Amino acid sequence: MSRDRRRPVALALMDTQIKSNAEQILVIDDDVELCKLVTRYLTREGFQIEAVHGGASGAERALSGNYALVVLDVMMPGVNGFDVLRRIRAESRIPVLMLTAKGDALDRVLGLEMGADDYLPKPFNPQELVARIRAILRRAKPDHSEGGQSAAPLVVGDIEMDSGARVVRRQGEVVNLTSVEFDLLEALLHAAGQVVGREKLTRDVLGREFSPFDRSIDTHVCNLRKKIGLLADGTERIKGVRGIGYLYALPSPSGRGSG
C-alpha cells in the first residue's frame, strides 16, 4: 500500500524534473491561435514554451527570462518584430528565429542584418519549425571536447577562436558574434586559404539544404565582415568567389593580407 502511494508522487517528481530540464523557448507573436498551436506542438517535442502577444512585453520577457531561444514574429502592431530584435540585440546574444511573411525577402534580409539567427516564412510546417529550432540550439551550445579538456584555440593571423567557450578575439579584443556568425567564421577559418562552397556552408552552418533563392549565408557573411573588419592591408578577410562560395584569406608572413 505505502509503495503504491509513493508511485504517483515519484512519477510527478520525475515529470517535474523533466520539465525543468527542458529548453525554454519564448514565442512573441500577436496571433493567439498560432501561439496555441506552436505551444502544443513544441511541448510535444520536449520544449517548455511561454507565449507573449505584444512586442514591448515580449522584448522585456526576452531580456529578463532564462530562455534558450526566441521565436519572433515580424508583423505585430505597435512595437514590431524588428523593434523587438533591436532591443534584444542591444543587450543579449540569445538566439532569435524570425517568422516572416511568405515571399517577403526584404523582411528576411533585414532581420538577418539586424542579428537574427534564422528566419521561417509563414505559413510554415511545424516539423520545419522544430528542425530550425534544433539546428539553432545545436549551434548555440558550447563545444566541450572529450575528457573535459578544452581544445586548443584556432588562430589565423590576428583572429583567435575558442570553440569551447565560443569566444572570438581580434587582436586580443572580444568580437561579439551571433551563433550563426560564430559557426560561419569557424568553418571559414578551418579552411583558411581555400574556397568553401555556399552549398556546404548552408548545410554545415544553417543545418539545411541549399536553395538558389536563399541568400541567408550571403547576409551572414556580410554581417561577419562588418564585425571582424579588414586585414592590415585594407582588403577583406572573407573574399567572395563568384558562383562558388567564400574564402578566408591567409595573412602573409609580413602580417599583410594575401592577394
How do residues 204-213 score in pLDDT, each as one tens digit?
999 888 888 8
Contact assessment for residue 24 and residue 47, using Cβ atoms and an 8 Å cutoff? yes
Distance of CA 229 to the CA centre of its chain: 21
Percent of the chain with pLDDT over 70: 85
- How many angstroms separate the CA atoms of 189 and 187, rounded? 6
pLDDT band at 164 (very low <50, low <70, confident <90, very high): confident
What is the predicted pLDDT for the residue at 214? 85
| 2-140 is classed CATH 3.90.1300.10 | no
pLDDT band at 253 (very low <50, low <70, confident <90, very high): low
- Tell whether pTM > 0.85: no
| 146-248 is classed CATH 1.25.40.10 | no
- In the chain, where does the domain assigned CATH 1.10.10.10 lie? 146-248
- In the chain, where does the domain assigned CATH 3.40.50.2300 lie? 2-140
Going from the C-alpha of 12 to that of each of 15, 17, 48, the distances in angstroms are 5, 9, 17
Instruction: Tell me the per-residue pLDDT of 17-26, one tens digit each, with 9 for 90 and over.
Output: 434 457 999 9
Q: Which residue has the higher pLDDT, 208 or 35?
A: 35
Strands (E), 143-207: 154-156, 159-162, 167-170, 173-175, 195-197
Longest dimension (CA), the chain: 80
Q: Which letter, b or e, does each residue of 6-31 get, where b requires 16 or more Cβ atoms within 10 Å of its Cβ? A: eeeeeeeeeeeeeeeebeebbbbbbb
Q: What's the whole-number average pLDDT of the chain?
A: 86
Strands (E), the chain: 24-28, 48-52, 69-73, 96-101, 118-122, 154-156, 159-162, 167-170, 173-175, 195-197, 238-241, 245-248
Instruction: Tell me the per-residue pLDDT of 65-118, one tens digit each, with 9 for 90 and over.
Output: 899 999 999 999 999 999 999 999 999 989 999 999 876 788 888 999 999 999
Percent of the chain with pLDDT over 90: 66
First-to-last C-alpha distance (Å) of the chain: 80
What is the predicted pLDDT for the residue at 228? 96
Residue 147, pLDDT > 90, answer: no
Burial class (CB in 10 A: 0-12, 13-18, 19+), 246: buried
Instruction: Tell me the per-residue pLDDT of 178-237, one tens digit each, with 9 for 90 and over.
Output: 889 999 999 999 999 999 999 999 999 998 888 888 889 999 999 999 999 999 888 999
pLDDT band at 149 (very low <50, low <70, confident <90, very high): low
Q: What is the mean pLDDT of residues 36-43?
A: 96
Going from the C-alpha of 201 to that of each of 184, 186, 236, the distances in angstroms are 7, 11, 19
Q: What is the mean pLDDT of residues 43-57?
A: 96
